[in-house]
Amino acid sequence: MALLAEHLLKPLPADKQIETGPFLEAVSHLPPFFDCLGSPVFTPIKADISGNITKIKAVTLQGAECDRVGGPGEDPPLPSQLHGHHRCHL
């Protein structure tokens, strides 16, 4: 739990933008947390979060260079939707 708090409870910068690398590093510690809860009811949630992390990493690795994520209420773009855009908004 301390590892989770260390990575996820940092304050947002004033512009409310988060760099993709540190974001992915922080959220990668979240899925194993659901294993600690011991109930299979959390399996779909863990799978959904893990899938979203994988999708964002794929976009980043495909050369989209998503250097910031932000924008409350916005879904991240799919790799096929980027077409040269250099920001991922979540």
pLDDT in tens, 10-24: 777 888 888 888 888
The fold of 16-89 is: Glycolipid transfer protein, GLTP (1.10.3520)
pLDDT at 89: 45
pLDDT at 86: 44
Is the pLDDT score of 29 beyond 80?
A: yes
Task: Report which of 67, 71, 72, 73 is spatially closest to residue 87, judged by C-alpha positions.
Answer: 67
Task: Report which of 21, 34, 24, 27 is spatially closest to residue 8, judged by C-alpha positions.
Answer: 27
Where are the chain's structural domains?
16-89
| pLDDT tens, position by position, 42-90 | 999 999 999 999 998 888 877 654 445 555 556 655 555 554 444 444 4
Burial of 88 (0-12, 13-18, 19+ CB in 10 A): buried
